[in-house]
Structure 1
Amino acid sequence: MAGMGKRMRPHTLTVPKPLIPIAGKPIVRRLVEDIAKVCHEPIEEVAFIIGHFGEKVEQNLIKIAEAVGAKGSIYYQEEALGTAHAILCAQESLQGKVVVAFADTLFKADFQLDTNADGTIWVQRVEDPRPFGVIKLNEQNEITDFVEKPEHFVSDLAIIGIYYFRDGEYLRSELQYLLDNDIKDKGEFQLTNALENMKNKGTTFIPAVISEWLDCGNKNATVYTNQRYLEYIKDEEGLVASSAQLENAVVIPPVYIGENVRITNSVIGPHVSIGNNTNVYNSVVSNSIIQEDTSLKNGNVANSMLGNFVVFEGRQSDLSLGDFNTLTE
């Protein structure tokens, strides 16, 4: 998660993209928790590969690891040299059984991870595989090829960016081999090259097909992911905090409403997440993410993201306002 998140600006000018909340929790926390659910063994360590995001961000990441009963570790990628290089930045943690995940992806899965397999590539069927890396399978359901952005149809199983390796040390040595021999693809050290080398040496990779793949690459995709995630968890308790104050308010579930939120003369939902200490007055809000300490007044807001400490008054319906912005009409 060392990238700058440029497609998510202005929301990533003050926080890294994986800490943007989805249904009340940061994207990366949702990801860590969901991976833990499909692993039937305890998680011992969560290693975060980041840029220099600051001490507060790092403390939040450590807490995310601790929330699943694991030790948290922080590593830095000083220069964007590709996925293989990024993973190798955490080489001290590449031991034993390892899950590698890129932190702008969420998923819904109905399987338990087979930790006895050499390796597992998580995939989803897609209608148009051309923008993705895909896998080919043989009759034994083993992966035979990795094909990046195929111009002609070879498979509809797209790689979503989550991988399991039974032998972390072996993965580390294959990643190091790429760097030592300056083996690059499109100018960067790529994980797919290491996977290909491992497969050619006899490593058997199998697919794990997820039921839904959710992207957090830009504002619209993130708002949609929030919508889908609220549908996943709509039966959980505590989605509306007991400290929230609702005065002449209509709430259409599923929604998430954080601590000390005040909603007055407004309609909220469906598919809305509102962060702590936010005030909404005389407004209609649907299918949107509003973060903490924000004020929304006289708005008709849909398909929108409002950051932290935002002040908005007006009638505009599709918004993307970053932290500390004020917009009134």
Structure 2
Amino acid sequence: MKALIPAGGAGTRLRPITHTSAKQLIPIANKPVIFYVLESIAEAGITEVGIVVGDTAEEVRRAIGDGSDWGLRVTYLPQAAPLGLAHTVLIAREFLGDDDFVMYLGDNFLIGGITGLVEQFRADRPAAQIMLTKVADPRAFGVAELDVEGRLIGLEEKPRHPKSDLALVGVFLFTAAVHPIVAGLTPSARGELEISHAISGLMHAGHPVVTTITEGYWKDTGNVADILEVNRLVLEGLEPEIAGVVDDASELIGRVTVGPGAVVRGSRIVGPVIIGAGSVVENSYVGPFTSVAEDCRIIESELEYSVVLGSSVIRGVGRIEASLIGREVEVIPAPRTPRAHRLLLGDHSRVQVCAYL
């Protein structure tokens, strides 16, 4: 069995960060989300991995390399444009050959891994096996309709009026039976080759398609709220470790990790919190469910329930919460006079400011 990881896509819901960075490399507890995907694949005993890459190909290559850090052999498969998940199967045809494969979306996060799912698929070998989970608003997902006996009878992609609350999780398993179906697909109204159409095509051709409803935790980390929520969940299991320097004037409460070369001075940190290697926290408060990446500076500020990416500076700005702050960002106080906000924002930015100065 092989694995296929779609890692292209524009990441429009995470702009402006994804103007310059791959959404699959946004860190969860200071580790890129795609690394969790690679770990799950390796734990399932799969070693051959194809990663479909787009405009951020070089960044993804630099982060993952040849896959040997996970005991994997990685092949990169260029995709000229994000034309749908079924299109990734189409362009991966030569890499996949006639092997069974698991498709695991590179920006999805699934607690518990995929080992059990892969073992079940290897034992039963249906043409396709899909994972479903109940969601509050299924309109943003592929939606499955089951009959009274729990068998799949229909799939819709992002329907306006969903027939159920069962959404497709971003993990799919296929035999080579899917390839002729994908080859015959035409673009949807969105201009994409939909994986839900490929699964429906297998059903209509008489191939067995099996569903598994997961009760575990799953998130598509495609927006800020979901990234912060997944970061919170992962930090809940954080093992405290102090590899850096914490001075006597600082107070660490709960599960706190301070990375190698990091320095904490005169600060209060209430875990779970992770401070990345080489970062400095000085005269500040860092509150629960916060990840600060490597080589950051948090000076005379308060930070809580947030994710800060590498080499950013937050200095003298009071309290920040529920925020995703990109790489090499500088957040500093405005001049006292005139009393006004001064902003330099990229396209698709979103800023919330106090109404009264």
Identify the residue that residue 88 of structure 1 maps to in structure 2: 90
C-alpha contact 1:102 1:162 (8 A) present in aligned 2: yes
Higher Rg: 2
Letter in 2 for 1:251: I
Identify the residue that residue 23 of structure 1 maps to in structure 2: 29
Pick one of 272, 276, 292 that aligns with 2:310: 292
| Distance change in 2, residues 1:320/1:292 (3 Å) | farther
Identify the residue that residue 325 of structure 1 maps to in structure 2: none
Offset at residue 49 of structure 1 (A): 0.8
Identify the residue that residue 255 of structure 1 maps to in structure 2: 273
| Distance change in 2, residues 1:110/1:103 (3 Å) | closer
Task: Please say if 1:121 is aligned against 2:92.
Answer: no
Percentage of pairs with the same residue: 28
Pick one of 297, 301, 317 that aligns with 2:320: 301
- How many residue pairs align between the two structures? 311
Pick one of 150, 155, 173 that aligns with 2:164: 155
Normalised to the residue count of structure 2, the TM-score between the two structures is: 0.78
C-alpha contact 2:22 2:59 (8 A) present in aligned 1: no
Offset at residue 4 of structure 1 (A): 1.7
In the alignment, the residues of structure 2 paired with residue 77 and residue 90 of structure 1 have an alpha-carbon distance, to the nearest angstrom, of 10
In the alignment, the residues of structure 1 paired with residue 215 and residue 241 of structure 2 have an alpha-carbon distance, to the nearest angstrom, of 25
Offset at residue 220 of structure 1 (A): 3.1
Identify the residue that residue 204 of structure 1 maps to in structure 2: 209
Which residues in structure 2 correspond to 1:122-137 (within 5 Å)? 122-137=131-146
Offset at residue 243 of structure 1 (A): 2.6
Identify the residue that residue 52 of structure 2 maps to in structure 1: 49
Task: Please say if 1:108 is aligned against 2:126.
Answer: no
In the alignment, the residues of structure 1 paired with residue 11 and residue 88 of structure 2 have an alpha-carbon distance, to the nearest angstrom, of 15
Query: Which whole-Å deviations, capped at 9, do the CAs of 1:177-220 have from their partners, x for residues lacking one?
Result: 32xxxx33213321112111212322232224142222322233
In the alignment, the residues of structure 2 paired with residue 132 and residue 161 of structure 1 have an alpha-carbon distance, to the nearest angstrom, of 10
Identify the residue that residue 296 of structure 2 maps to in structure 1: 278
Query: Which whole-Å deviations, capped at 9, do the CAs of 1:197-256 have from their partners, x for residues lacking one?
Result: 21232223222414222232223332233222222x324767431432111121111112
C-alpha contact 2:110 2:217 (8 A) present in aligned 1: yes
Letter in 2 for 1:189: L
Query: Which whole-Å deviations, capped at 9, do the CAs of 1:104-158 have from their partners, x for residues lacking one?
Result: 2212247721222423212211233344322233465432321334555632211
Please tell me the root mean square deviation across aligned C-alpha atoms, in Å.
Answer: 2.8
- 5+ unaligned residues in a row in structure 2: which ranges? 1-6, 243-256, 335-339, 347-356
Task: Please say if 1:33 is aligned against 2:39.
Answer: yes
C-alpha contact 1:279 1:296 (8 A) present in aligned 2: yes
In the alignment, the residues of structure 1 paired with residue 11 and residue 158 of structure 2 have an alpha-carbon distance, to the nearest angstrom, of 22
Normalised to the residue count of structure 1, the TM-score between the two structures is: 0.84
Secondary structure (helix, strand or coil) at the match of 1:12 reads helix
Offset at residue 269 of structure 1 (A): 1.9
Identify the residue that residue 326 of structure 1 maps to in structure 2: none
In the alignment, the residues of structure 2 paired with residue 160 and residue 206 of structure 1 have an alpha-carbon distance, to the nearest angstrom, of 11
In the alignment, the residues of structure 1 paired with residue 27 and residue 153 of structure 2 have an alpha-carbon distance, to the nearest angstrom, of 37
Query: Which whole-Å deviations, capped at 9, do the CAs of 1:15-63 have from their partners, x for residues lacking one?
Result: 11111111111121122224544x3xx1212211111325343132335
In the alignment, the residues of structure 2 paired with residue 128 and residue 309 of structure 1 have an alpha-carbon distance, to the nearest angstrom, of 35
Identify the residue that residue 73 of structure 2 maps to in structure 1: 71
